[in-house]
Structure 1
Amino acid sequence: MVGLNTNDEHGRPVVLLADDERAITDNLGPFLERSGFSVHVVHDGAAALAAVADVDPDLCVLDVMMPRLDGREVLRRLRGDGRHTPVVLLTQVGEAGERAMALEEGADDYLNKPFDPQELIARIRAVLRRARPGRPPLATEGVLRSGPLRFDRVARRAWLGERQLTLTPKALTLLDYLLTHPDELLTRERLLEVLWGFATPVGTRAVDNRVAELRRLLDDDPSAPTWIETVPGLGYRFCGRIERGGQ
């Protein structure tokens, strides 16, 4: 099993950027460099696989739609080879189901095109903060726990202690995303994208309603949260400690 690299000779995290759109890599590569990363650029999936073996990056940014091998196939091969290098996918798919599938296949996060480069930087830093050398991403775990809260991501069922929770599909999706992105600021806009995608014209108030639903079921006090913390004016953060597996 291959672990994570420990930065370049200057102490910068090494990022592999794979995208066949040179207009993107020509601008994004230097931007990532200016933001404190050492960047290696390739333009197709086969070259990305070869570069991972050669460079051993700390993180890969993979475009989904690439020639030779698409980004999701690169991801599947990396995970199949036992490589747990963190991966952020650049997608052009608005459907929440497609994005959820990418996460289940082992992606650490995704970003829909077109995107703000600053948002990509934020995602990269968040993924690197929660990455553990040699450990698969939380999104590949079947069961996640936080104190008395247990969530079976395969069966799509959750328990608080011995009590099984009755959650709506949106609340289940929200809980899943919170648990797999702990200690990360999740804006309302981000959660809106996760829960509804881009096809449905829903306002951010709908996100607040789903968070309120989840808090009621978890008996989570917003003024002294055990799990879901409000970041005033911005969004939410899962503040509970995450553990993998468990019965």
Structure 2
Amino acid sequence: MDAPDRPGILLVDDDDAIATALGPFLERSGFSVRIAGDGRDALREVEREVPDLVVCDVLMPHVDGREFVRRVRARQLWLPIILLTQVGESWERSAALDEGADDYLNKPFDPHELISRIRAVLRRTAQGGATLRSAHRLRAADLVLDRTARRVWRADAELSLTPKAMTLLEYLMLHPGEVHTREHLLATLWGFDFTTSSRAVDHRIAELRRVLGETGAGSPFIETAQSIGYQFVARVVPA
């Protein structure tokens, strides 16, 4: 690692303007930063020294962000990776998350939001989040999600969810204890950037609660953070 008290970040972006501005900002925020110009150079950097976390653009020459994730995971390296993208299609985001990315941010983004996501991912990794990311099944109490088969059970009874609700449940279970704003969930899972009037997240949360049988004020799985968003509150372990 780059320094014992400063987590090492590998910043991967072929846009010199972004790298030049973002690198020093990350340094001022308490991280030790190395920079790679594309995915091919990033793979060499990882081979030379494994960082604590990678912030990686998606659209790059030679080796793009999604291919970088695939190659890193093929080496059984479960270092955290946050992808940056201008691609708005939700299937691109879902595919990259399935392939092993830990989080997603849309360009343009607020650098302070990126810092928050980096710190959240590092906390999750320290608590075993990398194990969750590599697990084919996730369990929280009597709830089991099979990520490969896209099936979910509670108390051995299989539940029926729409594809988007399934993706939302998987994302929440991979990020337990974290509060996610509606805007972040929309941008990450739906690919929407400017949808302040959209209630797509609320509708899918309502579907999850209905199917999971969550009634009354107390929720064993999903709680609402008033005026902010939602969080998965139950302990999640590999199943």
When the two structures are superposed, what TM-score results if normalisation uses the length of structure 2? 0.91
The one-letter amino acid paired with 1:193 is A
The one-letter amino acid paired with 2:41 is A
Are 1:64 and 2:58 counterparts? Answer: yes
For residues 52 and 142 of structure 2, what CA distance do their matches in structure 1 show? 33
For residues 169 and 203 of structure 2, what CA distance do their matches in structure 1 show? 13
Counterpart of 2:46? 52
Counterpart of 1:241? 235
Deviation string 1:143-202 (CA, Å, 9 cap, x unpaired) is 111000011122211111022112122221211111111111110112222443239968
The one-letter amino acid paired with 2:218 is A
5+ residue gaps, structure 2, are: none
Residue 134 of structure 1, CA deviation? 9.0
Partner of 1:179: helix, strand, or coil?
helix
Counterpart of 1:141? 135
Counterpart of 1:197? 191
For residues 15 and 83 of structure 2, what CA distance do their matches in structure 1 show? 14
Q: How many residues align?
A: 239
Aligned pairs (5 A) from 1:98-113: 98-113=92-107
Residue 221 of structure 1, CA deviation? 4.2
For residues 193 and 87 of structure 1, what CA distance do their matches in structure 2 show? 17
Q: CA separation of 1:133/1:57 partners in 2, compared to 1, >3 Å: closer, same or farther?
A: farther
Counterpart of 2:22? 28
The one-letter amino acid paired with 1:106 is G
Q: CA separation of 1:195/1:67 partners in 2, compared to 1, >3 Å: closer, same or farther?
A: closer
Identity across the alignment (%): 54
CA contact (8 A) 2:180 2:229 kept: yes
Counterpart of 1:223? 217
Residue 138 of structure 1, CA deviation? 2.9
Q: CA separation of 1:133/1:225 partners in 2, compared to 1, >3 Å: closer, same or farther?
A: closer
Pairing partner for 1:8 from 3, 7, 27? 3
Pairing partner for 2:79 from 70, 82, 85? 85
Counterpart of 2:179? 185
Counterpart of 2:13? 19
Residue 142 of structure 1, CA deviation? 1.8
Aligned pairs (5 A) from 1:145-164: 145-164=139-158
Deviation string 1:23-60 (CA, Å, 9 cap, x unpaired) is 10111111111111111112122221111122321001
CA contact (8 A) 1:76 1:106 kept: yes
The one-letter amino acid paired with 1:114 is P
When the two structures are superposed, what TM-score results if normalisation uses the length of structure 1? 0.89
For residues 200 and 31 of structure 1, what CA distance do their matches in structure 2 show? 26
**Considering only aligned residues, what root-mean-square deviation do their CA atoms show, in Å?**
2.2
For residues 103 and 145 of structure 1, what CA distance do their matches in structure 2 show? 18
Aligned pairs (5 A) from 1:163-174: 163-174=157-168
For residues 201 and 34 of structure 1, what CA distance do their matches in structure 2 show? 32
Are 1:40 and 2:34 counterparts? Answer: yes
Q: CA separation of 1:233/1:33 partners in 2, compared to 1, >3 Å: closer, same or farther?
A: same
CA contact (8 A) 2:12 2:56 kept: yes
